[in-house]
Amino acid sequence: MEPDSLPTEVILTHPRQSLGKVQLDWTPQPGNYLDFQGKTYAVLERRHRYQFKYGRYRLYNIALYVQFAQRPAEKTLVDGRWVVGDATCIYNAKSEIVRCAVNPHGPCQDCRYYEKV
């Protein structure tokens, strides 16, 4: 195991099943996208698993709960994080996972509901 990587189990949320394990050199946050075994998944949740050894707990594994997803073509940087779609629209959810309620699948360009903030 490399010093900056932890064993990470990738778990599909529906239907619940383990897709396998991987060594990652980065820490995926909910809302990030992960390419695994030739498919793209959105990270929904990250759980840490600890082991008690030599009188102390240490992080020994990470579990990522994911769902199949397409990488969005439209992203906007808002306060240091990427959100899906055009963040200048009042209907934009300002989320890494959901674009908006009125046009969740997009695209934002030429959307009939677009209203500037």
Question: Which residues have C-beta within 8 Å of that of residue 32, sequence separation ≥ 6?
Answer: 42, 43, 96
CA 100 – CA 15 distance, rounded (Å): 25
> pLDDT tens digits, residue range 13-72?
999 999 999 998 888 888 888 999 999 999 999 999 999 999 999 998 999 999 998 887
Question: Which residues have C-beta within 8 Å of that of residue 15, sequence separation ≥ 6?
Answer: none
Phi-psi region of 38 (alpha: psi -120 to 50; beta: other; left: phi over 0): left
pTM over 0.75: no
Residue with token string 């394990």: 21
